[in-house]
Amino acid sequence: MQFPEYRGRRLRKNENFRRLVRETRLSVNELVYPLFAVPGRDVKKPIASMPGQFQMSLEHLAKEAREAHALGIPALLLFGIPAKKDEQGTGAFAKDGIVQQAVKRIRNEVPDMLVITDVCLCEYTSHGHCGIIEKGEVQNDATLEVLAETALSQVKAGADVVAPSAMMDGQIAAIREILDENALENIPIMAYSAKYASSFYGPFREAAESAPQFGDRKAYQMDPANSDEAIREISLDVNEGADIIMVKPALPYLDIICRARQEFDLPLAAYNVSGEYSMIKAAAKLGWIDEEKAMLESVTAIKRAGADILITYWAKDLAKALAK
């Protein structure tokens, strides 16, 4: 086909044509909404670097979960900020830990909502790293046990899915094993398989109060320059028992999402992270960009690249925009 027989503009003429031939369609069905749980009563503290997002105590979380459910959002991803942090991150697997309480509360009040829990230690450790520190370094194998205990305690509290994000080698196998030993073989694992050491997590670290107190996360999260390594990381997770794989961040890593889609047949999640959200919020606030259009274009691009599941702070706004 060539011009003038082919004219691409014929099917772009108006919105009805465009709707008919659109290749990528968004829906509320693929959205996961991240939320931040904090102890206390009647806390709804705005996260300065993430306008529209809050740290919330249990009653506000439950309300937010109800609203998300009413909008048709199928799943939440929960993070917790404990009252006290320590060297070992013990708050992560405490029976009455903040995430465990949040899961129970949401489970009770909004039973029909999927609750996914982030399995990591950085929100719970005083040093802010994702694992146990010895001799100034995050110890891989010692951390695996703690991650496994954390996942188990979250599932015992009622989590439907666990999502390990610490980037420790062997974490999926360790979690699969402890769940299976406890007759929880039907609980799926959503693995943050290709998680990069990204500057786009900046706002989240304010939200979760989880910035590392020394050094950075480059000794465990992936080098942004690598693509083949992402495929190796995902393969390992698939072999260890991941049910859903993830690429994170999303927008600067669309090539990785696209490759993962081609090379694996498991459901693929993409995390549209805090920095991707905050950049657009900030530009919109300055009047430099149209927030709704930029949001829709961003998530369309992530889906077009091949993601099945979209984890995004815009989940509610998207659900409303899609219902219009």
Report, as residue numbers or ranges, the catalytic residues.
Answer: 195, 248
Q: Which is nearer to ligand PBG, 59 or 205 (CB)?
A: 205
Concatenate the DSSP letters of all residues of 233-262 into one string: HHHHHHHHT-SEEEEESSGGGHHHHHHHHH
Largest Cα separation within the chain, whole Å, is: 70
Structure tokens at 6: 């082919």
Q: Which is nearer to ligand PBG, 109 or 215 (CB)?
A: 215
Tell me which of 122, 174, 234, 270 binds ligand PBG, using CB under 6 A: 122
Sign of CA dihedral 48, 166, 173, 151: negative
273 binds ligand PBG (CB under 6 A): yes
Q: Which is nearer to ligand PBG, 130 or 251 (CB)?
A: 130
264 binds ligand PBG (CB under 6 A): no
Hey, which residues between 130 and 169 contact ligand PBG (CB under 6 A)? 130, 165
Q: How many residues bind ligand PBG (CB under 6 A)?
A: 11
Tell me which of 201, 220, 264, 314 binds ligand PBG, using CB under 6 A: 201
The residue with its CB nearest to ligand PBG is 204
Question: Which of 97, 95, 135, 102 has the alpha carbon at shortest distance from 116?
Answer: 102
- Phi, psi for 198 (deg, rounded to 5): -115, 140
Q: Which is nearer to ligand PBG, 187 or 273 (CB)?
A: 273
Euclidean distance between CA atoms 61 and 118, whole angstroms: 16
Cβ atoms of 177 and 145 closer than 8 Å? no
Q: Which stretch binds ligand PBG (CB under 6 A): 143-151, 180-188, 200-208, 238-246?
A: 200-208
Q: Which stretch binds ligand PBG (CB under 6 A): 15-23, 115-123, 236-244, 294-302?
A: 115-123
Tell me which of 30, 64, 118, 240 binds ligand PBG, using CB under 6 A: 118
Contacts of 228 (CB under 8 A, 6+ apart): none
Tell me which of 93, 124, 196, 204 binds ligand PBG, using CB under 6 A: 204
Concatenate the DSSP letters of all residues of 101-135 into one string: HHHHHHHHH-TTSEEEEEE-STTTBTT--SSEEET
101 binds ligand PBG (CB under 6 A): no
125: Cα separation from own chain's centroid: 20
| Minimum separation from the CB atom of position 119 to ligand PBG (A) | 9
Q: Which is nearer to ligand PBG, 200 or 264 (CB)?
A: 200
Tell me which of 143, 153, 154, 274 binds ligand PBG, using CB under 6 A: 274
270 binds ligand PBG (CB under 6 A): no
Specify the DSSP class assigned to residue 86: B
What is the dihedral angle through the alpha carbons of 154, 155, 157, 158, rounded to the nearest 10 degrees? 130
Contacts of 281 (CB under 8 A, 6+ apart): 50, 51, 52, 291
Cα 11–Cα 16–Cα 22 angle in degrees, nearest 5: 65
| Minimum separation from the CB atom of position 273 to ligand PBG (A) | 4
Tell me which of 78, 98, 115, 120 binds ligand PBG, using CB under 6 A: 120
Positions that interact with ligand PBG (CB under 6 A):
118, 120, 122, 130, 165, 201, 204-205, 217, 273-274
